[in-house]
Structure 1
Amino acid sequence: MTSERVFVFVDEEELFSVMKDADCLYCRIPVTASKQHLKKRHLRFAIYYKDAGIGRFSIPCYCSDGGHGRSHWHCPMCSKILHRTQNYKIHITNHGVEMTDKSSVSDGNKLRFVSKFSPLPAELQPTTVLLESLQTHSEDKTPGSKAACQKCGILFTTTSNLRRHERLQHGQDQQPILCILLCELEECWDFMKAQAQSGNPGKECRHLVRTNHAQHYVPPPPLSVRSLEEMRDKHLLSASEKHECQEMNSRACVQGVDCVYPVFWGEHDLPERCVFFSVYTDLEDKWCQFGRTRVSFDSKSGSWKCLCKHKRSRCVHKCLCMWWLFQERPELLQDALDVHPERALNDDLC
């Protein structure tokens, strides 16, 4: 008989009694839920808080609900799944609970958890409540007992946790990155799965870690029909190319997305010879799984490259990028925009 999964407990014994050495309900692969397994894999990373004056804790889960075997948290209040520990803490705090340290009462060498199911005898009742918020707890601690982040003031019990926090949240020594929705490399999936199975929940690949330094989104200047008309007048685009660009830009505006989003790496002190563009396609295919394609422009050679499956020399995605550069950065184009008299003549005859 399979027990129902519970994601919040008042003490360790309650967790052990739910399992009783059966298969672990919180792991994706079958493994015996021994006390050693529960302590190493789940209790080690438990999050403690106080709800209605009662100390409780939640444990991380590794079931298939998290995707690719990643560690995650199930909110016991609303059944929402969160993948990051900090996000889970913020989420349950919004439900009205109070974050605490690990709540315990010691009797000699004996450590016993406060539980509503097994209250302490009168002679062992503490004279003060040990469940306090992290903020109150930190104020009562003597100076030097905890290491504080110099930038945001968060306290850490170990210097290694502090260094990791400063590296991930305030580090500025890594290459810039704009956005990663989901790491698509299978080797990264295997890496995170192996880390989760070895007792490191929340471990992410280097690509996802870099998203902590992602820049805030700033919309690029929109494309102007006036500049498109100017390109047409100078015979830099054919009539059909002009119409196709205008139609694509209109569809992007209806969808509420950027038709052309440029990336200038020179702004990050990196080589600025090549300019990259994320271009709207209004399609979902192998080469544009997110409805966008990537176009690159070499400002030295004047050459263009596109992931588009069409192999013609000028596709609509390149023309859209030419439009944006002609409008915003014409100095980069130089001789990249060539005028073909025969194209202009054919357009005039049509």
Structure 2
Amino acid sequence: MTERVFVFVDEEELFSVMKDADCLYCRNPVTASKHHLRKRHLRFAIYYKDSAIGKFSIPCYCSDGGHGRSHWHCPMCAKILQRTKDFKIHITNHGVEMTDKSTVELQPTMVLSENQQTDNEDKTPGNKSACQKCGIFFTTTSNLRRHERLQHGQDQQPMLCVDAKNAIYVTPKDLHGPRVPIHIRKSFTLQILLCELEECWDFMKALAQSGNPGKECRHLVRTNHAQHYVPPPPLSISSLEEMSHKHLLSASEKHACQEMNSRACLEGVDCVYPIFWGKHDLSERCVYFSVYTDLKDKWCQFGRTRVSFDTKSGSWKCLCEHKRIPCIHKRLSMWWLFQEHPKLLQNPLDVHAERVDVLEEVVMDKMSPDGDDLC
């Protein structure tokens, strides 16, 4: 019986191992044709350099993994690992260097094109999204992002600078679900490393006490690929006047908005910074805003708070949670949205409410009891 090998230098070496015999890497008997090897194994191969030699390993579906699930056999120590991420970490500990397929100078697999020609030569990708690393097509962007994260280790989340003067950034709190943004501060010039999450504070404090004071939480690390500060369109007094004319703001609220915007301008920062995750291939349902507060409290540690607007339900939320008085931060965000994207407010504005807080109550009454609000 042919001995199984779990590391290869090129594809021809893999093809020559079985030569159309039964596949050694599958639990059920199946002919190890080139089409099968490419579709079942090569498309998920992991590439690396060992002693400056380009190599790759393929996933296995034998009974060793249990129930025929995909798993990985370490070619150095024969250990079996179930997850791709764990396998990458494991072989890296053996001293290999992870690489992209293109840098290993292996022969192209042409996985996608050959599969399509075999299955249906007339079929075209259409609106499918292609992985830039291996060329596999996906019907949805979310599936593509999941593939890039699991197969190619790409786990970058957007990081936007909302205040260049004070080195304040926003980034999604979590990797899954609604990408609710949080504020962080990072500046080597100002010697600041701060994240507004208490759990991150505890994490960095514990590491500092153990002798590793420079360790950053997962959110601060993302500043390594942060986008440069791009100023948003400034708030216009004419649009505020229009809102007041349409009875969307009371006279006192109009004055409060104008005064808060003036304070932000005097400090040299943006009063409202919009956050559209849709530009980063994430959900477009919720629009977020980083809003200047002129305060420092538990809910606005860096002088800014988060306001969210659910474009589906029309509901607004703010971290300040002012229940009894109108929230100035929501009003400022509405001002910006009314000025730049009035269509997003079209449905709520069709309700002839004399006040924005009344408008919010009408919208909240329309929300489903199951909690349709995701922001």
TM-score w.r.t. the length of structure 1 is 0.46
Could you say which structure has the larger radius of gyration? 1
TM-score w.r.t. the length of structure 2 is 0.43
